[in-house]
A = this chain, B = another copy of it.
């Protein structure tokens, strides 16, 4: 009953998938010590004494200097301050172990720099070392976020305490074990059946011109592909025929530690019926519009243009640290015009 996809479109979108682009916050490249070492408090204590630490405040803002996460030698921290400390791992070069520390009070001695939201550091991370530093800070924030939400046992209400250098919590009440987890979220660039347009939506809290891909937390009991279809149907009233996994990204900037599962989809209906209790608007955008917005977002990320376009009619898309940006760019760069009509 739906619209038939343009011949060749499925094969073309599928070919874009599973190529693992380099997303922001991916590629932390730390090797976690063996469980036998993490289980030994004396070993962990010794590792901490020769470590470099990344400090977060109670809002989980990251201690930064010059726009980059600032790793401080353990000796410089105030060790009397109560804190959560997580051993992230050793980097490949075998230098000092890296720890995440969740306490602004640990900086009492005074260190030059300040606390910044992680996302504001993303656009400044450049080059392989910058990307790696950002990914390590993202993992640190995800873990600290989990610790803050797992202080009590959900099953019995007992207090939990960190074990395994922060990679486990144990309940004093029932003895239950809790492990760091992430919430899977689907995010999708849904392409029209002719391949020429992509579905965008706007959250009620966003400025008028700001749009992105639709996204949503996965429900228990569904596959990735089913979650994509459900979200797009619920939020935009659009039916999705084909769904292809594209790539994934750890996302430490949301309301919980998230795993973004990025997909491409092909709609088999054209009419959009936005669910106004979920989104402020949903609409199709054509290639010229998206190309201009992607260019503007790239320039903004590079610091070439920190001012938003003053024209209120111009589409504004997420910056390059967001997987939505990369999904839209993948569609834009696909040679759809070469397909049969």
Contacts and interface: CB of A to CB of B under 8 A. Distances in A.
A148 to B, nearest CB: 7
With a 10 A CB-CB cut-off, give which of A34, A142, A159, A245 has the most chain B CB atoms: A245
Interface in A20-58: 20, 23, 25-28, 32, 34-36
A65 interface: no
A298 to B, nearest CB: 22
A154 B143 contact: no
A262 to B, nearest CB: 10
A27 B226 contact: yes
Interface residues of A, number: 60
Interface centre among A23, A248, A277, by most B CB within 10 Å? A248
Contacts of A140: 221
Contacts of A257: 220-221
A139 interface: yes
Contact of A26 (B27, B219, B222): B222
A223 B245 contact: no
Given A14-B18, A218-B259, A157 B151 contact: yes
Contacts of A32: 219
Nearest to A28: B221
A244 interface: yes
A252 interface: yes
Contacts of A151: 154-157
A184 interface: yes
Interface stretch (A77-85, A175-183, A187-195): A175-183
A179 B217 contact: yes
Contacts of A135: 221
Interface of A: 14, 17-18, 20, 23, 25-28, 32, 34-36, 135, 138-140, 142-143, 145-146, 148-157, 159, 179-184, 217-226, 243-245, 247-250, 252, 257, 259, 261, 277
The 9 closest A-B pairs by CB, nearest first: A139-B221, A142-B220, A152-B157, A245-B245, A224-B248, A18-B244, A220-B257, A223-B248, A149-B154
